[in-house]
Chain A
Amino acid sequence: MMRKAGEIILLLLLPFVMTHADGTHYRMPGKPTLTSCRSPEKETFTCWWEPGPDWGLRTTYALYYRKENSEMVYECPDYRTAGANSCYFNKNDTSIWVNYNITVVATNSAGSTFSDSVDIDVVYIVQPNPPERVTATILEDKGWPFLRVSWEPPHKADTRSGWITLFYQIRVKLEGESEWEMHYAGQQKTFNIYSLRSGGTYLVQVNCKPDHGFWSDWSSTSYVKVPEYYTRERSVWLLIALFSAFIFLILIWLIHMNIRSLKHCILPPVPGPKIKGFDRHLLKNGKCDEVFSTLVVSDFPPTMSSNYEDLLVEYLEVYIPEEHELMLEESKDLHDGFLKSEGSASDSDSGRGSCDSHTLLMDKCGEVKEKQTDQEGGRMGTEAHTQQADWDESHEDMVSPDMSSGRVKTWPSVFSPLPQYSPSPLHHPNTLETAWQQQQHYLSDTLLPADSLSSDLSQAGHNIKDTPSSNYWKFCLSNKRPHLLQTDARWHLQAHSDVNISNISHKEAPACTYLSSLRSTEYVEVQRVNEEDRVLLHPVSSERHDGKDCLQLCHGEDYSKVKGVDIDNVLLLHREVMEEEVDMCLCDNQETNGATESCYTTITPQKPTSCIQAQAMSGYVDTATMFAQPSH
């Protein structure tokens, strides 16, 4: 019993085993799928399916459908008309507004496989054929061409009876382009396209769609060539180009005419500091002399001023012998402000001023001078007073001599007619301050207080050799340019430039320096002419000074009268001084009408430069213009 059941079971299982053992032979067909159903005119329709894998077996496909509200299953009436794997429903089999349930069955020797069912309503699967007889022609509208496209509906679609309503669409493109230009034409069967390119070839296609359905395929392409109407365009462009060129030229001309005002408007010039007569380029080149020559006001100080009282010039001659430098060094502290003490004998920078900075000078001048005043007040006691009295009227700018290896350098003279020379130390900063402000002039206030000045001056009266602390003073100059001190020895003091009065020979000859700032009408009395043919001047103080010491304050009423000037530019003085040519010692006297000392020029060829400028007016020599080279 059990055995029989087992046999039966085995028998039953055998076909399964057999099928599994040899799958290729007994395998059910793959599942087909309905791809689409389409109706071209809403009267017939076709369905296509995609067969599944058939495993190499012969598989048959059948399509079955069921209509709405009916259980009857029908098979596809026509498998051929529409091609392979299709089913064509003709008019008789097609019912509109009826739901079809369609299924495809694949059958092979192993079995059948049903596809998924699809419900369709023919109304919604309409896809017409493309429009037919598409024509594209070029017509002209008032000389301008346009493209007219006309077509016919697909012959199968019955639009005449109103059964199908078709809507059309056109697409156009130029030959060679990639983008189509789409136009919706509605229900009309003609369409116009404007704005054609002259000489171009256009491609035209039309398609259609029912009111509820799918767009048809595009119709076959129609080619149309647009004739050339370019020449008319070209002439227009030519005219436009000419006109714009003309306008452009006019604009250019206008701009050119008004370029300056335009520039001024757009890029306003940046105001910069400008000093009249000052040439920056010369400054760059290093020719300081020439640069500042322009800044010198020629008529300042007024040489022709009649009011001498206002322009008191004090001439100072500074001569500092070398051996006294050490002593001078000691007194550096005092004279620090205005002593060029750091200037050693080896200082060869002739152009550099004694003052390192004008502010330094300012700071130190006052205090140093005060100190000096104190220090030397005792010494100079009476002299100070006398000198102070003398100095009341005078004020000058002292040029600080830069003593260096026999050369005395003077600071550029600064002229500031100080009305009252007050000894108060406070006075000086003020004057100094005011002096600094003036840039036009080389104004330097007297840095020395009256008493100190006087003391200095008194010292100046001394022979420099004798007094260690003599004759060194620096004057802070309103001239803030130390490089101005690079002066040529020939510079006229009138030029208010740096006067580098080189010490002729401090040993042999008095270093004659100008205090170029001498405005004050100081006169130095010529004492005598020494054996070396030098004019010795009467010192300001009652002290006598050496023949070499030319640094004097020339103030006082004594003066020498010049008898005349001979041909060789020799100044002939009235005094007992002989009419001989001597080297002149200089006192600063830049007054044109104040020839305080008689200066003679020697005929020695070494000194061609010394000259006497004779002022014919008053018979007085303006010694300010003369200075002697320390070549004696």
Chain B
Amino acid sequence: MPGHIRSVCVVWVVFVCLMFCSRLTTVGAAPPCTNAQAGCHVLSLANLFDRVIQHSARMHGISNDLHSEFELYFLPSKNQIGRVSRNCHTSSILTPNGKENAQRMAREELTEVILKLLVAWRDPLSHFHQSMARHHDFNNFSSNKSLEISDMVHELQKGVQKMVEKMQMLGIMSNSVSSLASPEALLESDSAEWRLMKNYDLLYCFRRDSNKVQNYLKILKCRIVPEYGC
């Protein structure tokens, strides 16, 4: 009798595992679509926006954690006075500093700003991660996050680009943003500035810029697809 029960249990476990596995595969299911193939699951713009905004929110959260952790470990004495003269390497990018300014900006401009920001942070973050990895006293949590953040920036950038393409396809956005297809062009102007920055300033600046990105994306969304959650 116990043998019988055991075999039944094994069968049941296997069955459950199969169910889960199939579920997991289906979740990540939607194969990458190119040119709207047949049977491809097409995402709506609103969904795209939501995904992108969630991604940016997560990115900002990680950047916030990194910054506060860095402040805790490496800067116990809050020496804030010197921070005023902080100069982020992305300060050259003109970003709207207020709601009116942001609303006054055209959606293409805004998108371009977003993309610029995202592009500008890819290299410094990877460099930051490498420099942090050499620090032995930096705990594993931050090290993982620093690695994650650089990937996230890249992912977000690609997502925004995809979204722009969709918008352009839908005719919402003009094709003036086409220059963003080659983001490497944007990097040339301030390629060397970030190397001069200290790590803490880097994190501070990135935290702010990720907030900007998130905010701009929300503005874009409520401007373009306002029916959901605006």
Interface residues of A (CB under 8 A from B): 42-43, 66, 68-69, 91, 94-99, 101, 117, 119, 121, 123, 158-163, 165, 187, 211-212
Contact = CB atoms under 8 A, between A and B. Distances in A.
Contacts of A96: 97-99
A307 B215 CA distance: 129
Given A99-B86, A117-B81, A212 B99 contact: no
A188 to B, nearest CB: 9
Interface residues of B, number: 32
Given A69-B91, A97-B208, A98-B97, A163 B83 contact: no
A151 to B, nearest CB: 16
B87 A69 contact: yes
Given A159-B230, A165-B218, A69 B85 contact: yes
A97 B212 contact: yes
Interface in B72-106: 80-81, 83-87, 91, 95, 97-100, 102-103
A600 B123 CA distance: 145
- Specify which of B64, B102, B211, B214 lies most central, judged by the most chain A CB atoms within 10 Å of its CB: B211
Interface stretch (B6-14, B128-136, B219-227): B219-227
A162 B212 contact: no
A211 B230 contact: no
Given A158-B99, A161-B99, A121 B223 contact: no
B167 interface: no
B84 A119 contact: yes
A335 to B, nearest CB: 80
Contacts of B97: 95-98
Contacts of A97: 95, 97, 208, 211-212
List the 7 closest pairs (A to B, CB-CB), nearest first.
Answer: A162-B222, A162-B218, A95-B97, A163-B99, A162-B219, A119-B80, A101-B84
A469 to B, nearest CB: 87
A307 to B, nearest CB: 69
Contacts of A160: 222, 226, 230
Nearest to B102: A163
Given A68-B84, A119-B83, A211 B57 contact: yes
A42 B98 CA distance: 8
Given A95-B97, A96-B97, A123-B211, A162 B84 contact: no
Given A163-B219, A212-B60, 14 more contacts: A43-B98, A68-B84, A69-B86, A94-B98, A96-B98, A97-B97, A97-B211, A117-B80, A121-B208, A123-B208, A123-B211, A161-B99, A162-B222, A163-B103
A211 B218 CA distance: 12
B96 to A, nearest CB: 8
- Chain B contact residues, majority secondary structure: helix
Contacts of B219: 161-163
B80 to A, nearest CB: 5
Main secondary structure of the interface of A (DSSP, over half): loop
Contacts of A119: 80, 83-84
Nearest to B211: A123
A68 B86 contact: yes
Given A91-B98, A96-B98, A97-B212, A161 B230 contact: yes
Interface of B: 57, 60, 64, 80-81, 83-87, 91, 95, 97-100, 102-103, 208, 211-212, 214-215, 218-223, 226, 229-230
Name the residue in A101, A119, A158, A162 with the highest tally of chain B Cβ atoms < 10 Å from its Cβ: A162
B20 to A, nearest CB: 28
A43 B99 contact: yes
A161 B223 contact: yes
Contacts of B208: 97, 121, 123
Given A68-B86, A162-B222, A165-B218, A95 B98 contact: yes
Contacts of B85: 69
A161 B80 CA distance: 33
16 contacts: A42-B99, A66-B84, A91-B98, A97-B212, A101-B81, A123-B211, A160-B230, A161-B230, A162-B218, A162-B219, A162-B221, A162-B223, A163-B99, A163-B103, A165-B218, A187-B229
A187 B87 CA distance: 35
A165 B230 CA distance: 8
Contacts of A43: 98-99
B107 to A, nearest CB: 12
B81 to A, nearest CB: 7
Nearest to B218: A162
A162 B230 contact: yes
Nearest to B100: A91
Contacts of A212: 60, 64, 211
A208 to B, nearest CB: 14
Contacts of A69: 84-87, 91
Contacts of B64: 212
A43 B95 CA distance: 16
A94 B97 CA distance: 9
Contacts of B226: 160
Contacts of B99: 42-43, 96, 158, 161, 163
